Amino acid sequence: MKDKVVQDFDESEGTGVWTCEEGTNLHTPIPTILAAHTFRIASADSDRRERNFDAAGRAISEPKKVEAKDLKAFLEDLRLAVYGAFLASFVQGLKLLTKAGHINH
């Protein structure tokens, strides 16, 4: 397999799995973190990507070129989207840590 989702020294998936498990165990919604982890796992499946490409006989979608006149607006939208996703993940992570701290005390 060309792509493999690992981050720990022992070749395991690591904190993404643990975080998603803890969110479930503590009944704490962490949808942004869970979605990011799920897409990370899906994106690592190069065999499936290659089978889909072969079945379609072409690229599933072509990259969209951003016109120079829209570049500034596009980059601002992108900046705000990344910032929003970061904030959502941060808040969800803090909520999970808070919930875990209350249960352990």
Per the CB < 8 A criterion, the answer to whether 72 and 80 are in contact is no
What is the band of 104 on the pLDDT scale with cuts at 50, 70, 90?
Answer: low
DSSP state of 68: G
Q: Which domain holds residue 100?
A: 15-104
- The whole-number pLDDT of residue 39 equals 83
Q: Is residue 9 part of a domain?
A: no
Query: Do the domain assignments include residue 5?
Result: no
**6 close to 13: Cβ distance less than 8 angstroms:** yes
Residue 7 lies in a domain: no
Does residue 85 or residue 14 have the better pLDDT?
A: 85
Q: Total domain count for the chain? A: 1
pTM: 0.65
- Is 8 a domain residue? no
* Angstrom distance (rounded) from CA 86 to CA 83: 5
pLDDT reported for residue 64:
75
pLDDT of residue 11: 62
Q: pLDDT digit string (tens) for 20-54?
A: 999 999 999 999 999 988 888 777 777 887 887 78
